[in-house]
Each structure stands twice: as C-alpha cells, then as structure tokens.
Amino acid sequence: MVRRRPYGGETASEGRARGVDAAAAGDVLTDVLIPADRIRSRLGELAAQIAEDYAGRDLLLVGVLKGAMMVMADLSRALPFSVEIDWMAISSYGSGTRSSGVVRILKDLDADVSGRDVLVVEDIIDTGLTLSWLVANLESRGPSSVRVCALLRKPDAAALDVDVSYVGFDIPDAFVVGYGLDHAQRYRNLDCVGTLDPRFAGA
C-alpha cells in the first residue's frame, strides 16, 4: 500500500528503525503522520505570528482539556511575552469517535473574559461543532476578541463558518492520536501525531 506522508512523517516501522518513539508509538500507530520535530517547528511559526498579532496586548489563552494540554504547553512557551492561561473542560455528547455538537461544561474558566483578548487553543477540529459552540459561548461573555488556534484541522472543518486564525496542519479525515489526542483516554503522551492501528481502535 502506498502511503502519503505530506508532513515529513514516516511509517511506524521506519520510526522504529530510527529508534523514534519506538516504545510508545511503534506498536500502536500505522503511520507517524507528524513527527515531534515538525510539530515543534510549526508551533514556533504559529507563536511568531501570534506574537506579532498580539504585540502590546494582554493575551488570555484558553485551552480545552484534555486534548490541548501539549499544544498549550509548547505554544505558550514559544511566545516571547507573558500570557495568562486558563482551561475549560467540556464534554461533547457523541457516538464513538464523532461529536454531536451537544456540549456540556465540566469545568468552566476561572478567569473573567470580559474585555479580554482571548485565544482558544485546540488540539484538533473535526466537524467543528465543539468549536462553534465554544466560540459562541465565549463571545456571549463580552470579550474584546476571540480567536482560535488549532494544531490540526480535518477536511470537514473547512466548511465551518467559525474562523480559525491559526492552523498547524490540515490533515486527512483519519482518526489520529498522540500529542494530547486520545483514544479511550490513551496515547495522549506520544510526542508525535499518528494514525492508530485499527487493532487498537476498537471500542
């Protein structure tokens, strides 16, 4: 089978051969879609853009637990100025791996966002239903601005009316794990993003 690896990724066995992610990734991924060094360099580019756009402003980063944990940690550390960081935990009811857009807040922000410049930091946008709900929810609180940064974006999200200002990578419509993204709460600690071997993707 011919695999497209447009992000400089590699097959899991190639990764294993190089000793990359071998213990963590080699056994559960069919492909390393985006290796750790590509994620790091892309987040550096996004951080430079964000630093330019928000120069002289007081930025509040809002992360969505738990998936955004890695993006938040690395993106925020790549910024050249101090920011405030806050978290929301939301659960979107859905069947299996698809979300429904019906969202419940499990943990709300500690910060008051009124009058603030808010940048939502997300791991991945798939249907975009979760994000649409979140942006509308934040906008109802009277912030000065709300923008979105997502590491990954799937094709369906392109049809969204919610504007995503900063996108790391546009990826194919496959289920991916690693770098914060889970399947059944596992694999978040992989340092790369990869496609899960179907043998591990069962319910």
Interacting residues toward ligand IMP by CB under 6 A: 67, 92, 99, 122-131, 175-177, 181
User: Is the CB of 9 or the CB of 67 nearer to ligand IMP?
Assistant: 67
Q: Is 67 in the site for Mg ion (CB under 5 A)?
A: yes
Question: Which does residue 10 bind out of Mg ion, ligand IMP, none, counting CB within 5 to 8 angstroms by kind?
Answer: none
Encode burial over 53-76: b for 16+ CB neighbours within 10 A, e otherwise. ebeeeebbbbbbeebbbbbbebbb
Q: How far apart are CA 168 and CA 119, in angstroms?
A: 15
Cα 136 off chain centre by: 19
Tokens of 116: 């603030």
Place of tokens 């630093």: 51
Q: Is 128 in the site for Mg ion (CB under 5 A)?
A: no
Place of tokens 């190089």: 18
Nearest distance, CB of residue 173 and ligand IMP, angstroms: 9
Active site annotation includes 31: no
Catalytic residue among 21, 31, 117, 126: 126
Nearest distance, CB of residue 80 and ligand IMP, angstroms: 27
Which residues does the annotation mark as catalytic? 126
- Contacts with Mg ion by CB under 5 A lie at 64, 67, 123
